[in-house]
């Protein structure tokens, strides 16, 4: 059975790995000319995703690349308050296990683990998908048309497979009231293992350096109404970011000076992908393409890894019967997908406080997190309802 996967970041190569292991033939098409090795951002693997990479025999390799961020320094320029929080204390509330790694390094590890047995086509994109009686005819922007048995979109928040199969993006995305900007810059503060975060009502700026990176990454989040901007106009996006963040104080002015010559800049609204069902005929979606909880707020990477594992497992369990497999895949992922959406909306609100009261509460909570031992934080957060520990609640099936 031949399966075409669109996208070679996280969900795509993990899916390719498991499909191959179950005996399917896999082709992965990636729009970028090669795996991008610069200007990524840090992503999180929580317990179930750690279990999946363990089963792939890749845990050690991934741990060797972990960012090593130990301390978040929270600065509220408005009050001059400054609190150092241990990252372990923050993540303990979410999951018993956590690995933070740069997305590009993670996808390189997945790619290396699959490249020998999977066909990778870089620098191309699916142009059309037509289902015929016993398969799918696919045309590409550059390569020759080909026929596959199934097509899977692992091509992220702005998925082409989703658009071609289900319709325009606006139908399935919901803005959750915040924007995100990220760029790389020289590590002029010599940060290693520390995230320096400036926070005020409605906005946040952070900079972190990683011992593997050689440079640093700045991240900005702000709340607001939906802005009408051209997603191709980088200068306009930089201007929007400047206008919202420049007066935040602290190191922010210098960070923004570096933005002008940054080799990599990313700006997007934080939107969630909400679909009742993300499979149609012989096409399905995995990871951000089908159920992004929103970048930077909902643990999308763990969800993408678990989703890929489940999809491949259900296809194997159903002996390649895609109707059965897609139904079980969606059923298995339904609860985690809903929980991650709720979690992401909550994170967007608490990460960037929307009132002076919440800002105060955030600084107090940071101080408290520091004072309590990790074990106690874990126990307290287990009592909490509302999905904070959603990742650990996912039970992985053995396929």
Ligand X SMILES: Cc1cc2nc3c(=O)[nH]c(=O)nc-3n(C[C@H](O)[C@H](O)[C@H](O)COP(=O)(O)OP(=O)(O)OC[C@H]3O[C@@H](n4cnc5c(N)ncnc54)[C@H](O)[C@@H]3O)c2cc1C
Residues that bind ligand X (CB under 6 A): 6-12, 29-32, 41-44, 103, 125, 154-157, 160, 180, 182, 266, 287-289, 295-296, 299-302, 304
C-beta closer to ligand X: residue 11 or 240 = 11
C-beta closer to ligand X: residue 41 or 282 = 41
What's the number of CA atoms in the CB half-sphere (13 Å) around residue 39? 14
Question: Taking the CB of residue 103, how many other CB atoms lie within 10 A of it?
Answer: 16
C-beta closer to ligand X: residue 115 or 324 = 115
Shortest reach from residue 133's CB to ligand X, in Å: 26
Residue burial 285-323, b: 16+ Cβ < 10 Å; e: rest:
bbbbbbbbbbbbbbbbbbbbbbbbbbbbbbbbbbebebe
Shortest reach from residue 319's CB to ligand X, in Å: 26
C-beta closer to ligand X: residue 325 or 344 = 344
Shortest reach from residue 371's CB to ligand X, in Å: 25
Helix 234-245 crosses helix 252-259 at what angle (to 10 degrees)? 170
C-beta closer to ligand X: residue 250 or 293 = 293
Distance CA 145, CA 141 (A): 9
| Cβ atoms 297, 351 nearer than 8 A | yes
| Cβ atoms 152, 282 nearer than 8 A | no
C-beta closer to ligand X: residue 58 or 398 = 58
Shortest reach from residue 286's CB to ligand X, in Å: 7
Shortest reach from residue 302's CB to ligand X, in Å: 6
Distance CA 46, CA 39 (A): 23
Shortest reach from residue 266's CB to ligand X, in Å: 5
């Amino acid at each position: 059975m031949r399966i075409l996967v669109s996208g070679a970041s996280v969900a795509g190569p993990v899916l390719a790995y498991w499909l191959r292991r179950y005996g399917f033939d896999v082709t992965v098409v990636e729009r970028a000319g090669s795996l991008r090795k610069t200007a990524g951002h840090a992503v999180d693997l929580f317990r179930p995703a750690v279990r999946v990479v363990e089963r792939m025999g890749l845990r050690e390799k991934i741990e060797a690349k972990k960012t090593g961020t130990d301390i978040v320094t929270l600065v509220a320029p408005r009050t001059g308050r400054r609190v150092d929080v241990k990252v372990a204390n923050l993540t303990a509330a979410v999951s018993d296990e956590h690995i933070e790694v740069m997305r590009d390094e993670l996808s390189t590890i997945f790619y290396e683990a699959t490249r020998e047995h999977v066909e990778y086509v870089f620098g191309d994109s699916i142009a059309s998908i037509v289902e015929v009686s016993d398969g799918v005819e696919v045309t590409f922007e550059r390569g020759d048309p080909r026929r596959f048995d199934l097509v899977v979109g692992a091509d992220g928040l702005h998925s082409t497979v989703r658009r071609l199969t289900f319709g325009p993006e606006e139908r399935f995305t919901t803005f959750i009231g915040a924007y995100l900007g990220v760029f790389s810059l020289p590590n002029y503060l010599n940060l290693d293992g520390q995230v320096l975060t400036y926070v005020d009502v409605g906005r946040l700026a952070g900079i972190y350096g990683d011992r593997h990176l050689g440079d640093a990454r700045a991240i900005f989040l702000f709340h607001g109404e939906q802005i009408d901007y051209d997603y191709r106009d980088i200068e306009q996006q930089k201007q929007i970011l400047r206008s919202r963040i420049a007066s935040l104080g602290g190191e922010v002015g210098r960070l923004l000076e570096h933005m002008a010559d940054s080799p990599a800049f990313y700006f997007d609204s934080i939107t969630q992908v909400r679909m009742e069902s993300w499979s149609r005929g012989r096409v399905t979606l995995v990871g951000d393409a089908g159920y992004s909880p929103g970048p930077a707020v909902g643990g999308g990477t763990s969800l993408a890894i678990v989703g890929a594992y489940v999809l491949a497992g259900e296809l194997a369990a159903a002996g390649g019967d895609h109707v059965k497999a897609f139904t079980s895949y969606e059923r298995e992922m339904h609860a985690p997908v809903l929980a991650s959406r709720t979690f992401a909306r909550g994170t967007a609100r608490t990460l960037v406080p929307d009132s002076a009261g919440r800002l105060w509460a955030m600084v107090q909570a940071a101080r408290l997190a520091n004072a309590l031992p990790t074990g106690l934080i874990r126990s307290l957060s287990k009592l909490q309802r509302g999905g904070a520990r959603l990742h650990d609640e996912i039970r992985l099936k053995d396929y």
